[in-house]
C-alpha cells in the first residue's frame, strides 16, 4: 500500500468544504474513516446483525465470533498476553473511569496519592478527581520543563511514599511530547506503584508492545485510530482484571443472580455489562487491518517526516509561535499567532477548507501553566501530505492579512 496515495481510501476527501478541498488537520481530535471501516458497519447491519454472547441462533453465533475476533486482533496488535486483557468500553474516557473507580474502590485510602502530569487531558484528571471527595486522596502533578516535556526525573521527583497510582499520557495532545513510558513504568514498578498510560494519542501513531512497555493499564480511543466512535479499549494486566471489582452492573456480566446475592462472570464479560457497541467493535477490526496493511513503522516514518516539515514551515513564518519544543515529538503542531485569537484563526482557516482545532484542547491545567487561554492546533494523520501543511501556512498568512487591515 502506497502511503502517499492513502487519501483515496478515505471517502470524506471526496467532499468539498466551502468549495475547497478538505485539508483535515484535526486527527488528534478524531481521525477520518477509511472506506473499509465504513463498509464493515453497513455490511454488518445489512447482512449479519445480531446481538452477541446471548442467543444460540445462527446470526448470534456468527456475530459473537466476529466480535471476539476483534478482541484477538487487538490483543495481537498491542502484543497483550491474553485476549481477556482486552476490555471494550465506550471510549478511552470510560476506560480510565473504569480503572479510577474500581482501583480507587478497592485499594485507595484517605491520604493516598495519585500522580498525574501537567500534560494530562481532562479525561485523565477528572476521573481521579472524584476520588478526592470519595476517598480523600490527593492528586499531584509532575511538572513540565520549558520544552513542554515530562522527563523521567520530573516523575521521579514527584513520587512520594504515599503514591499509589501513576496515570500519565503517552503523547501530549498539545505539545506533542512523547513520554518515556517504558522508563517511567520501570521506575514505578521499582517502587511497587501500578501505572496507567492514557494512550489516546499514542495508539494511532506509535508501535505498541504491552510486553515491552510493561504498564499495568493502557487506555485507547478507537475513533482516533481510524475506527468508529463510541468505542474504546482498556488493556489491563490479567492480575488486575481478576482482582478489581466489576465496574458497571447489568446483563452479560453476571454468573448467577439470586434475590440474596449475585456472582459475577468471568473475563472479559465481567467488565462488559449490557449490549456493547457491537457494530463498532466488528468494524474496528477493519481499522486494525488497515493499520496492519500500511504497517505502523511506515506510519511513524510518514508522520514524523510530515511533523518535521510542518515545524520547519511554521518556524519560517515569523508570526507563528509553536507551543512546546519536545525532542521526541508526535504529529501535533500547536501554535499561537501574535494578536490573533485561536478561534479567529480556526474560523478563517475553515473558510479555506483547513480544519484545525482551537481552544484549550481539554487541557486547562497545561494552558494555565503556559499562560495561554487558547491555542490553535494542527494535528496529523496517515492521510496528510506536505501539500496540506503548505495550505495551512497559506491560510495562516491570510489570517494576518485580514487582521492587519
Partner 1 sequence: MDLKELYQEIILDHGKNPRNLRKTENFNKDAKGHNPLCGDKVHIFLKIDENKNISDISFEGSGCAISMASASIMTDLMKEKKEKEVKELVDDFLQMIKASPEMKTKIISENEKTKLMSLSGVKQYPMRVKCATLAWHTLTSAMSNSEEETNTEKID
Active site residues: 362
Helix (H, G, I), strand (E, B) or coil at 188: helix
Looking at 46-54, 211-219, 222-230, 356-364, which segment touches partner 1 (CB under 8 A)?
356-364
Which one, of 131, 51, 46, 121, lies nearest residue 91 by Cα?
Answer: 121
Q: Is 370 in the site for partner 1 (CB under 8 A)?
A: no
Q: Is 340 in the site for partner 1 (CB under 8 A)?
A: yes
Shortest Å, Cβ 395 to partner 1? 11
Looking at 61-69, 154-162, 317-325, 366-374, which segment touches partner 1 (CB under 8 A)?
366-374
Q: CA of 201: how far to CAs of 9, 30, 42, 95, 120, in Å?
A: 22, 10, 27, 14, 11
Looking at 33-41, 212-220, 275-283, 359-367, which segment touches partner 1 (CB under 8 A)?
359-367
Q: Is 357 in the site for partner 1 (CB under 8 A)?
A: no
Shortest Å, Cβ 376 to partner 1? 11
Please pick, from the candidates 325, 344, 369, 385, the single residue that binds partner 1 as defined by CB under 8 A.
344
Please pick, from the candidates 351, 369, 385, 390, the single residue that binds partner 1 as defined by CB under 8 A.
351
Within residues 190-229, the interface with partner 1 by CB under 8 A covers none
DSSP at 177:
B
Q: Is 275 in the site for partner 1 (CB under 8 A)?
A: no
User: What b/e string do you get for 380-395 counting C-beta neighbours within 10 Å, with b at 16 or more?
Assistant: bbbbbbeebbebbbeb
Q: Of 156 and 344, which CB lies nearer to partner 1 in the complex structure?
A: 344
Q: Which three cell numbers stand for residue 53?
A: 454472547
- Asked whether the beta carbons of 375 and 342 are under 8 A apart, the reply is yes
Within residues 10-49, the interface with partner 1 by CB under 8 A covers 18
> H or E element: which one contains 139?
strand 138-142
Looking at 292-300, 330-338, 341-349, 389-397, which segment touches partner 1 (CB under 8 A)?
341-349
Q: Of 16 and 238, which CB lies nearer to partner 1 in the complex structure?
A: 16
Q: Which three cell numbers stand for residue 136?
A: 480523600
Q: Which three cell numbers stand for residue 153?
A: 526525573
Helix (H, G, I), strand (E, B) or coil at 88: strand
- Asked whether the beta carbons of 330 and 206 are under 8 A apart, the reply is yes
Residue in this structure with the C-alpha cell 496515570, named with its chain if needed: 167
Alpha carbons 57 and 345: distance in angstroms, whole number: 55
φ and ψ of 395, to 5 deg: -70, -35
Shortest Å, Cβ 283 to partner 1? 29
Shortest Å, Cβ 353 to partner 1? 12
Q: Of 159 and 376, which CB lies nearer to partner 1 in the complex structure?
A: 376
Shortest Å, Cβ 316 to partner 1? 25
Q: CA of 280: how far to CAs of 45, 224, 311, in Å?
A: 11, 13, 35
Q: Is 342 in the site for partner 1 (CB under 8 A)?
A: yes
Within residues 376-405, the interface with partner 1 by CB under 8 A covers 402-403, 405
Q: Is 257 in the site for partner 1 (CB under 8 A)?
A: no
- Asked whether the beta carbons of 255 and 265 are under 8 A apart, the reply is yes
Q: Of 189 and 341, which CB lies nearer to partner 1 in the complex structure?
A: 341
Alpha helices per DSSP H over 78-163: 92-107, 126-135, 152-158
Please pick, from the candidates 16, 106, 238, 343, the single residue that binds partner 1 as defined by CB under 8 A.
343
Looking at 7-15, 190-198, 289-297, 342-350, which segment touches partner 1 (CB under 8 A)?
342-350
Q: Which three cell numbers stand for residue 193?
A: 506503584
Binding site for partner 1 (CB under 8 A): 18, 339-344, 347-348, 351, 358-360, 364, 367, 373-374, 402-403, 405
Amino acid at each position: 500500500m502506497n502511503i502517499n496515495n492513502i487519501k483515496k481510501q478515505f471517502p470524506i476527501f471526496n467532499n468539498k468544504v466551502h468549495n475547497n478541498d478538505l485539508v483535515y488537520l484535526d486527527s488528534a481530535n478524531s481521525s477520518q474513516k477509511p472506506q473499509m471501516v465504513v463498509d464493515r458497519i453497513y455490511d454488518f447491519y445489512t447482512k449479519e446483525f445480531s446481538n452477541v454472547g446471548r442467543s444460540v441462533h445462527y446470526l448470534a453465533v456468527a456475530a459473537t465470533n466476529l466480535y471476539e475476533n476483534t478482541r484477538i486482533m487487538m490483543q495481537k496488535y498491542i502484543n497483550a498476553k491474553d485476549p481477556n486483557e482486552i476490555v471494550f468500553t465506550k471510549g478511552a474516557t470510560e476506560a480510565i473511569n473504569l480503572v479510577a473507580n474500581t482501583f480507587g474502590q478497592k485499594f485507595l485510602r484517605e491520604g493516598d496519592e495519585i500522580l498525574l502530569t501537567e500534560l494530562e487531558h481532562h479525561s485523565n484528571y477528572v476521573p481521579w478527581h472524584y476520588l478526592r471527595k470519595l476517598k480523600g486522596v490527593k492528586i499531584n502533578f509532575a511538572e513540565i520543563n520549558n520544552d513542554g516535556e515530562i522527563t523521567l526525573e520530573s516523575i521521579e521527583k514527584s513520587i512520594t511514599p504515599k503514591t499509589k497510582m501513576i496515570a500519565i499520557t503517552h503523547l501530549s495532545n498539545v505539545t506533542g511530547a512523547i513520554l518515556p513510558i517504558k522508563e517511567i513504568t520501570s521506575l514505578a514498578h521499582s517502587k511497587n506503584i501500578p501505572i496507567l498510560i492514557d494512550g489516546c494519542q499514542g495508539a494511532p501513531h506509535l508501535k505498541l508492545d504491552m510486553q515491552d512497555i510493561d504498564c499495568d493499564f493502557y487506555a485507547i480511543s478507537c475513533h482516533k485510530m481510524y475506527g468508529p466512535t463510541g468505542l474504546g479499549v482498556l488493556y489491563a494486566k490479567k492480575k488486575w482484571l481478576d482482582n478489581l471489582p466489576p465496574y458497571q452492573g447489568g446483563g452479560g456480566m453476571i454468573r448467577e443472580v439470586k434475590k440474596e446475592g449475585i456472582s459475577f462472570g468471568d473475563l472479559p464479560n465481567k467488565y462488559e455489562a449490557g449490549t456493547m457497541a457491537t457494530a463498532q467493535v466488528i468494524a474496528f477490526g477493519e481499522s486494525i487491518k488497515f493499520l496492519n496493511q500500511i504497517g505502523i513503522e511506515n506510519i511513524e516514518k510518514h508522520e514524523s517526516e510530515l511533523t518535521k516539515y510542518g515545524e520547519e514551515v511554521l518556524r519560517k513564518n515569523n508570526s507563528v509561535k509553536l507551543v512546546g519544543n519536545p525532542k521526541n515529538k508526535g504529529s501535533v503542531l500547536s501554535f499561537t499567532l501574535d494578536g490573533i485569537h485561536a478561534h479567529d484563526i480556526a474560523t478563517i482557516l475553515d473558510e479555506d477548507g483547513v480544519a484545525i482545532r482551537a481552544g484549550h484542547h481539554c487541557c486547562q491545567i497545561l494552558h494555565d501553566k503556559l499562560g495561554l487561554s487558547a491555542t490553535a492546533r494542527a494535528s496529523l494523520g496517515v492521510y496528510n501530505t506536505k501539500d496540506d501543511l503548505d495550505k495551512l501556512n497559506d491560510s495562516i498568512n491570510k489570517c494576518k492579512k485580514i487582521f492587519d487591515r
